[in-house]
Amino acid sequence: MKNQAMKGAAADRGVQGENANIRALLLAYFWPPTGGVSAQRVLKLAKFLPEYGVAPSVLTVSNPSVPLVDHSLSRNVSADLEILRARTLEPGYQTKSVVWQASHSQAGKSRGRRLRDRALGLARHTLVPDPQVLWQPGAMRVLATRLASPRADDIVFITAPPFSSFMSGALARLWRGTAVVLDYRDEWSTIRERYEMKGGLSARIGPWLERALVSCADAITVATESFREHLLESFPFLDPSRVHFIPNGYDPDDFPADLPDPPTDRLVVTYAGTVFTLTSASGLLAGIRLLHERSPALAERLHVRFIGRIVDTEAKAFEGMERFGVERTGFLPKDQVMRALAASHLTLVTLARLPGNERIYPAKTFELMYLGRPMLVLSPTGVLTAMVERHGAGRVLPPDDPPRVAAYLAEQLQAFVAGQLPLRAPVAGLERYHRRAQAGEFAEVFRSATARARRRAS
């Protein structure tokens, strides 16, 4: 069904039945050409929702302050998709990065420079709950204009992080009959405690603010079942029937038809994604060094690639690793990433042993399972390890046990040299993780939330 036809069918909200076509405004800070995994969930939702009688539009930022750009993602965007944009007051990402580094290093600076850097660091810590809160004035202005117009949407869907975007949900709730759905791609508490917003006012005000904002939602969607359990435990007032687990997934259209095979002269292991505190690769790197100490001739056949951004806090662990066959390629467009993963004998997923990580599985995990190369998963016991083991997608090891990593790599190298290393890890039961199927789940949530909002309005 065409988007235009659905928009026309949904124009008169007062006479629709609960199963009629509905209009959904998807509010997302990350949207193409912004690169990386953060844009994928809402991008695929906009792509497949029309198949389920939901006409999507998007509200995003016109000048995003982001480190990654991937124009290849734009091919997923329908030509007739309505996209609204609002400016953010944030400085460019490079400026934000300088402020971040300045607030953590005072060595060798003059007193005046230190005072200035402290002031910049203070400004950063007072942006609650995150720096992207500077987008909210523009986003709320566009949202209010939209909801006050004849083209008002039935539902406002807000995906986070950044969690400041949830503030727009409080505004949308003021419109009678408009449903609000909040989507947790990550846990607010984990981001608040472990990543860039650690410390400052966010750590103190964040829990109160989160409680206030989730109370505005007609429905909440989360990316893992453990997220759901933790959210209900943290906020007992939430109705469990309104909190829905919808995982991330894969889209076969993202995989080129002519995917290459791995090389025959070396064993290639590939990681794709950002390496930061929660996905630290220090245990793997220590295992590679240990392998070179124990079996240097065998280790020479190993090549490990990291595709993506490595944040400053993790860069030190990679220093000097080139001599051990570790390559850092930097960010690549998604289509190139898929080809690089296919041209690997093993694909890699890492999660550090940190509180909350047992409730996480990186979004790219589903694409790796669909690709079918054997996976090496370094993670604490939790939802990620359970899923990989349930689907038989690869080998699970602790993230902080270099001897076991070295032993596993030696085992794989010996099989590779003997010509006995399997190139496929048959994975069954992935149908639910198809992005099309997940759009259907979201559509059902949207319909129930819209019906609830209309009952509240009447």
Per-residue pLDDT of the chain (458 residues; tens, 9 = 90+): 333 333 333 333 333 334 448 999 999 999 999 988 889 999 999 999 999 999 999 999 999 988 888 888 888 999 999 999 999 998 876 665 555 555 555 455 556 555 555 555 555 566 778 889 999 999 999 999 999 999 999 999 999 999 999 999 999 999 999 999 999 999 998 877 765 445 566 667 888 999 999 999 999 999 999 999 999 999 999 999 999 999 999 999 999 888 899 999 999 999 999 999 999 999 999 999 999 999 999 999 999 999 999 998 899 999 999 999 999 999 999 989 999 999 999 999 999 999 889 999 899 999 999 999 999 999 999 999 999 999 999 999 999 999 999 999 999 999 999 999 998 887 888 999 999 999 999 999 999 999 999 998 88
Residues 146, 165, single domain; the answer is yes
Residues 156, 273, single domain; the answer is no
What is the rounded CA–CA span in Å between residue 338 and residue 364? Answer: 11
E strand segments, 175-252:
179-184, 219-222, 243-245
User: In total, how many domains does the chain have?
Assistant: 2
Residue with tokens 């230190």: 114
CATH of residue 357's domain is 3.40.50.2000
What is the rounded CA–CA span in Å between residue 454 and residue 218? Answer: 11
Residues 369, 224, single domain; the answer is no
Residues 265, 406, single domain; the answer is yes
| Domain membership of residue 368 as a residue range | 253-429
Residues 245, 178, single domain; the answer is yes
What is the rounded CA–CA span in Å between residue 177 and residue 155? Answer: 9
Q: Provide the token pair at 191.
A: 């981001």
Residues 156, 300, single domain; the answer is no
Residues 285, 159, single domain; the answer is no
Residues 165, 267, single domain; the answer is no
Residues 136, 8, single domain; the answer is yes
Q: Provide the token pair at 25.
A: 């405004």
- 94-101: long-range contacts (C-beta < 8 A, 24 or more apart)? 96/65, 96/124, 96/131, 97/67, 99/123, 99/124, 100/124, 100/196, 100/312, 101/312
What is the rounded CA–CA span in Å between residue 420 and residue 418? Answer: 5
What is the rounded CA–CA span in Å between residue 59 and residue 31? Answer: 9
Residues 323, 371, single domain; the answer is yes
Residues 303, 211, single domain; the answer is no
Q: Provide the token pair at 180.
A: 């609000």
Of 29, 59, 31, the closest CA to residue 141 belongs to 59
What is the rounded CA–CA span in Å between residue 63 and residue 34? Answer: 10
Residues 232, 280, single domain; the answer is no
